[in-house]
Amino acid sequence: MEVGFIGIGAMGVGMVRNLRKAGHKVMIWNRTAASLTELAAEGAEVASSAAACARNEVVISMLADDAAVEEVMLTPAFMDALGPQTIHVSMATISAALAERMTVEHLARGRTYVSAPVFGRPPAAAAAQLFVVAAGDPAALARCEPLFQAMGQRTFIVGDRPSAANVLKISGNFMLAAMMETLGEAFALTRKHGIEPAQFLDVLTSTIFPAPVYKIYGGLIAADNYEPAGFKLRLGLKDVRLAQEAADAAMVPMPLAGLLHDRYMTAIVKGYGDFDWAGIARLSAEAAGLPPQR
- Residues annotated as catalytic are 169
Instruction: Please state, in angstroms and rounded to a whole number, the distance separating the CA atoms of residues 26 and 35.
Output: 15
The length of the chain is: 294
Answer whether 272's CB lies under 8 Å from 282's CB: yes
Backbone dihedral region for residue 217 (phi beyond 0: left; psi -120 to 50: alpha; all else: beta): alpha
Closest by CA position to 283, among listed 206, 185, 137, 197 = 185
Q: What are the C-alpha distances in Å from 142 to residues 26, 120, 156, 248?
A: 19, 22, 12, 33
